[in-house]
Amino acid sequence: MISTLQKTIRPMLAARGLHKSAVEVLKSLTPEDTVTASFGKFISELKPQHLSPVVLHRSKRMVLDSIGVGLIGSTTDVFELALQHCQHMYAPDDISSVYGRTGTRLSPTLAAFVNGVATHSMDFDDTWHPATHPSGAVLPAVLALSDMMPANRKPSGLDFLLAFNIGIEIQGRLMRFSNEAHNIPKRFHPPSVVGTMGSAAACARLLSLDPSQCSHALAIAASLAGAPMANAATQSKPLHIGNASRLGLEAALLASRGLEASPLVLDAVAGVAGFNAFYEDYVPQSLESPSDNGHMFLLEEQDMAFKRFPAHLGMHWVADAAASVHKLLVGVGPGKVSPDQVEDIMLRVPKSKYINRPFPESEHEARHSFQFNACSALLDGEVTVDSFTPAVMSRPDLFALLSRVRLEHPHDNPANFDCMYGEVQVTLVGGDILKGRCDTFYGHWRNPLTNESLRKKFRNNAEAVLPSEKVEMLIDVVEELDKFGDCRDLLSQLQ
Amino acid sequence: MLRKGITESFGAAIHALNTTQLTDGVITRSKRMMLDTLGVGLLGTRTAVFNKALKYSQMFTSEERSSVWGKADVALPPHYAAFVNGIAVHSMDFDDTWHPATHPSGAVLPALLALVETLPRPPSGLDLLLAFNVGIEVQGRLMRFSTEAYNIPERFHPPSVVGVMGSAAASAKLLGLSPAQCCHALAIAASSAGAPLANAATQTKPLHIGNAARTGLEAAQLALAGLEGNPAILDMHSGFGVYYKDYSPAAMADSASGGFRWILEDQDVAFKRIPAHLGMHWVVDAALAARVKLQNTDGPFDPSLIRSVTLRVPLSKYVNCPLPATEHQARHSFQFNACSALLDNKVTVDSFHHAQISRPALRELLSKVKVETPEENQPSFDKMYCEVEIETHQGQRHAARCDTFYGHWRKPLSQEDLVEKFSVNASSVLCTEGVGGVLYAIGDIERVRESSVLSSYLRMTNRAVLQHGETLSSHRI
């Protein structure tokens, strides 16, 4: 029986016109069994009832945090630059709104772009495990697309959340295809790899594309993915998220017009790289179609980290460790820490070149510097948004402390957000040694921000550009998003 | 390993290269590339993929607009003009190919022409020619940073890696960016490079070139606006090096010193006679020669007399397709191109129409094809060969081998044949005045005062296009 099935499959596969190596991949599967097809099917067929209460709760927190971070991000130079670029290159369009700019609207993909840039502009957005910044790639695209849809056919709040969660889920699934993804990245900046795919998936869902079109959206997006790590810690980094959002939306729009791409983009075909071009090791797995029993979202098993200050996630460990040393110092002597007290500062941190910067010269570099964040927390007791402003960055006291820092990379401290720790050891003039250690900072998925802390962060961020009534309304709207008839209320509050 | 100054040297060179450094050899060769690219692009505006991209792009509005080739009444925001025109150029796999392998011109020319139309003072033809050559040169330099680039690719589609960098460099040149800004343009562009090979042989492949053109232009404009990236992007393994397994970057020679030499001077491009992957040209020439041998002994060609056809080709999985179903697959199939050549005694633009692909006679012949990949047949456009051996039912064997097809850089198309290819292609959408205008503007580009005149010729469509609007391919891709 099986042998006759094989015999009929082979000419059928050949008749589908596939290249020889692709035929090899499909020999043991029917064409619909490919990993790529399973993803397309999942995106198209998932239903709102598959969203569990935990997933709804967690994803609403992500939506709130992402909006807040995007709003404060709209005050940055890089956002201004990106916005002016879009307005200069393209005429005003009255379709999709822009964070923090009442009355400014752009074409959907451009709005997704600038809002994505805003979201990542200060490195203040959420971080997941394996590492990426999932929401900034998805939310701006979903918002922009919702703005694009006709007034009488806007998605319901629940549809909106479903699309958003699909965008997150796809990213999580893709990262689990390789071991490389589990550690602090060295080659491609993860949001530029999986973020684009997540955005494409979310938008494909919102556009109600069929399974085949959803697959093609992913494949088209793959050709738009991938940016090198070297641009992290530069002013260009936020564009990785902006582009992920924009290009994923574009891929979905092109797929909706019938553009087709590789039907095996997620599968591993020897000699012809697809999505695996971005990874050294790659073992793809099909996504099961959701059954009546529901679907176990990765977000249910693995929560999100939210940042308390705008810097690379790794900084939060050393900041918390240094803050505890600050408390000890302040408790002992006068209420201020002075560099004259300090002889030596030793940081025990994971080895990672791009967050090891002894003397950062820009805010972008400072957000990616173990040394800077440790010293700031040592001096001030905490790191905040203001810690990265030019005046605060160039304090002589800070520089003096920075000159006294040494780094150690213990073998038991891997470059992995699930396992790492940060230790700060301060040797005082006089010989006393003060130590602080942080295994899990407050905000990490193991020690999540309370709803109260999350809202406080949101208020601080959103009030940079919106009046407090609107800020409170936004909190309520997001909280009730799955219960509202349509997402118009969310869209209107953002303008 | 960090080698200081490589990116810096590129930024300095892009900024400093000037028209006096254009040699006669480079001028001649690059003009041929521009002409071929325009013809191929014009023909490409009739494809389904182009029309999908055009419809998509029309959702954007802008104040500045640039021409869409082959369209009298449609203009788009400059980035999207670069996008769709780039797609048109690569839509039929008919555009130029270089060594190491990439399609250099399609990523650069559409971006430059779109940009030209937005500048307050249109650059001269010579300025355009210089910027074009800068874009080509940068691509050539970058490909020489790795040995991986010398063979038929497996991971990233080369135009998506180096094409966007070339477009950024060319656009930066035309915009007159400072050396530092040129570096940042390259850095910003690098974050948009790299599309997986799996999308080659699909309808999305042309977007690799379209996106390279558009995104490179955007990178230059963002750099002009002050955006910064990593100023050592080319120096670092975690920079541009991420796209290659082995990566050894080298600085660009100081263009002011006597030491500067354009790569194009030493390494010409190949122009295609057939709208298909370059490898197909070898197998077609070999098939045609084998066919002649068969006819000389056995009389007029009759496919039913054939027992088997053996192809000896280099190992390259993405052009080994036994039974292509779409035009994109057919353009990437040794088997298909060999059989088309045998059946029709030629392979042309029309060979890839759906009706032709699905002919029973062709399918029948395809079923008789065997492919061998001898180890000494290296998957490199500089070294490969193709052999076609026909065996008849009587046991007669006729074999022929092609080492260098006509159009390859070792055996370049004559100027007459290049112009003929252009004219045939361009006439499919332009009227005679338009065709003649482009020939003149490119032929005499060193003396053209305002390069924007080129775009006006590209809009002089013929009556058929005006009447029917977009001429869509009728078959589903």
CATH 1.20.120.450 fits B6-266, yes or no: no
Chain A residue with CA closest to B327: the answer is A17
Over residues B453-474, mean pLDDT: 72
Question: Given 3.40.50.1100, 3.40.630.40, 1.10.4100.10, 3.40.50.1820, which CATH number is that of A35-307+482-493?
Answer: 1.10.4100.10
Closest CA to B229 of B1, B79, B11, B9: B11
Q: Residue B222: list chain A partners with CB under 8 A.
A: 81-82, 85
Q: Residue B77: list chain A partners with CB under 8 A.
A: 89-90
Cβ(A27)–Cβ(A9) under 8 Å? yes
Cβ(B68)–Cβ(B42) under 8 Å? no
Cβ(A82)–Cβ(A114) under 8 Å? yes
Best of B162, B164, B242, B358 to substitute, by most chain A Cβ atoms within 10 angstroms, is: B242
Distance between terminal CA atoms of chain A? 63
Measure B215 CA to nearest chain A CA, in Å: 11
Please give the structure tokens belonging to residue B363: 């399918």
Q: Residue A240: list chain B partners with CB under 8 A.
A: 191
Give the HSE-up count for residue B260: Cα atoms under 13 Å, Cβ half-sphere. Answer: 23
The pair phi, psi for residue B456, each rounded to 5°, is -70, -35
Q: Residue A227: list chain B partners with CB under 8 A.
A: 190-193
Best of A25, A89, A250, A355 to substitute, by most chain B Cβ atoms within 10 angstroms, is: A89
| A265/B155 touch (CB, cutoff 8 Å), yes or no | no
Show the 3-state SS of B282-336. Answer: HHHHHHHHHHHHHHHHHCCCCHHHEEEEEEECCCCHHHCCCCCCCHHHHCCCHHH
Query: For residue A16, what pLDDT is reported?
Result: 52
- Domain ranges for chain A: 35-307+482-493, 313-438
Query: For residue B474, what pLDDT is reported?
Result: 33
- Domain ranges for chain B: 6-266, 279-402
Pairwise CA distance, residues A397 & A31, whole Å: 65
> Identity (one letter) of the amino acid at B114?
A
Task: Select the residue of A93, A243, A253 nearest B61 (Cβ to Cβ).
Answer: A93
Residue B307 has pLDDT above 80, yes or no: yes
Cβ(A251)–Cβ(A81) under 8 Å? no
Find the helix or strand (DSSP H, E) in which A173 lies: helix A157-175
Give percent of chain B above pLDDT 90.
88
Give the HSE-up count for residue A423: Cα atoms under 13 Å, Cβ half-sphere. Answer: 14
Task: Select the residue of A15, A234, A273 nearest B230 (Cβ to Cβ).
Answer: A234
Q: Which residues pair with A348 in a beta bridge?
A: A408, A423
| B64/A89 touch (CB, cutoff 8 Å), yes or no | yes
Pairwise CA distance, residues A356 & B385, whole Å: 51
> Identity (one letter) of the amino acid at B378?
Q
pLDDT tens column, A62-102: 999 999 999 999 999 999 999 999 988 887 778 999 999 98
Q: Residue A108: list chain B partners with CB under 8 A.
A: 59
Residue A389: CB atoms within 10 A of its CB come to 11
Q: What residue ranges in A66-134 does DSSP mark as E strands? A: 96-97, 105-106
Closest CA to A307 of A445, A414, A118, A468: A445
| B477/A260 touch (CB, cutoff 8 Å), yes or no | yes
State chain B's mean pLDDT as an integer: 93
Residues 6+ apart with CB under 8 A from B183: B7, B8, B10, B11, B231, B233
Measure A486 CA to nearest chain B CA, in Å: 25
**A206-A207-A212 Cα angle (round to 5):** 110
Query: For residue B317, what pLDDT is reported?
Result: 83
The pair phi, psi for residue B278, each rounded to 5°, is -55, -40
Task: Select the residue of A223, A236, A253 nearest B195 (Cβ to Cβ).
Answer: A223
Q: Residue B243: list chain A partners with CB under 8 A.
A: 228
| A19/B229 touch (CB, cutoff 8 Å), yes or no | no
pLDDT tens column, B368-408: 999 999 999 998 899 999 999 999 999 999 999 999 999 99
Distances (CA, A) of A176 to A74, A192, A228: 33, 16, 20
CATH 3.30.1330.120 fits B279-402, yes or no: yes
Q: Which residues pair with B280 in a beta bridge?
A: none
Query: For residue A11, what pLDDT is reported?
Result: 47
Measure B34 CA to nearest chain A CA, in Å: 26
Query: For residue B254, what pLDDT is reported?
Result: 77
Task: Select the residue of B62, B222, B324 nearest A17 (Cβ to Cβ).
Answer: B324
Measure A495 CA to nearest chain B CA, in Å: 21
Best of B204, B333, B366 to substitute, by most chain A Cβ atoms within 10 angstroms, is: B204
Distances (CA, A) of A268 to A12, A201, A285: 20, 20, 10
| A260/B204 touch (CB, cutoff 8 Å), yes or no | yes
Task: Select the residue of A15, A271, A274 nearest B323 (Cβ to Cβ).
Answer: A15
Bond preceding residue B100 cis, omega within 30 of 0: yes
Residue B472 has pLDDT above 70, yes or no: no
pLDDT tens column, B31-45: 999 999 999 999 999
Distances (CA, A) of A289 to A45, A174, A204, A406: 7, 16, 16, 51
pLDDT tens column, B277-293: 999 999 999 999 999 99
Distances (CA, A) of A278 to A173, A220, A288, B145, B172: 15, 15, 24, 19, 28
Chain A residue with CA closest to B239: the answer is A230
Widest distance between CA atoms in chain A: 86
Distance between terminal CA atoms of chain B? 46
The pair phi, psi for residue B411, each rounded to 5°, is -140, 70
Task: Select the residue of A89, A229, A273 nearest B197 (Cβ to Cβ).
Answer: A273
Cβ(B244)–Cβ(B252) under 8 Å? no
Question: Higher model confidence: residue A92 or residue B318?
Answer: B318
Pairwise CA distance, residues B177 & B169, whole Å: 10
Q: Residue A229: list chain B partners with CB under 8 A.
A: 238-239, 242
Residue B411: CB atoms within 10 A of its CB come to 11
Distances (CA, A) of A94 to A148, B55, B58, B178: 9, 19, 15, 35
**Residue ranges of chain A whose pLDDT lies below 50:** 1-15
Query: For residue A306, what pLDDT is reported?
Result: 97
pLDDT tens column, B145-187: 999 888 778 899 999 999 999 999 999 999 999 999 999 999 9
Task: Select the residue of A228, A272, A353 nearest B239 (Cβ to Cβ).
Answer: A228
Chain Cα centroid distance, residue A246: 14
Task: Select the residue of B64, B155, B192 nearest A243 (Cβ to Cβ).
Answer: B192
| A261/B79 touch (CB, cutoff 8 Å), yes or no | no
Measure B411 CA to nearest chain A CA, in Å: 30
Chain A with chain B: Cβ pairs closer than 8 A = 224
The pair phi, psi for residue A239, each rounded to 5°, is -70, -20
Look up tokens 């700060």; give the residue: A424
Closest CA to A231 of B169, B160, B187, B227: B187
The order of strands in the sheet holding B369-372 is: B369-372, B306-312, B386-392, B397-402
Distances (CA, A) of A48 to A21, A164, A302, B209: 38, 11, 20, 39
CATH 3.30.360.10 fits A313-438, yes or no: no
Measure B286 CA to nearest chain A CA, in Å: 22
Please give the structure tokens belonging to residue A454: 């999350």
Residues 6+ apart with CB under 8 A from A490: A143, A157, A160, A474, A477, A478, A481, A484
> Identity (one letter) of the amino acid at A248?
G
ipTM above 0.85, yes or no: no
Q: Residue A261: list chain B partners with CB under 8 A.
A: 199, 202-204
Cβ(A243)–Cβ(A192) under 8 Å? yes
Pairwise CA distance, residues A441 & A319, whole Å: 9
Residues 6+ apart with CB under 8 A from B363: B323
Helical H segments across A176-280, by residue range: 190, 196-206, 211-222, 237-256
Task: Select the residue of B207, B239, B240 nearest A223 (Cβ to Cβ).
Answer: B207
Closest CA to B312 of B283, B340, B339: B283
Cβ(A272)–Cβ(A172) under 8 Å? no
| A265/B199 touch (CB, cutoff 8 Å), yes or no | yes
Pairwise CA distance, residues B369 & B156, whole Å: 29
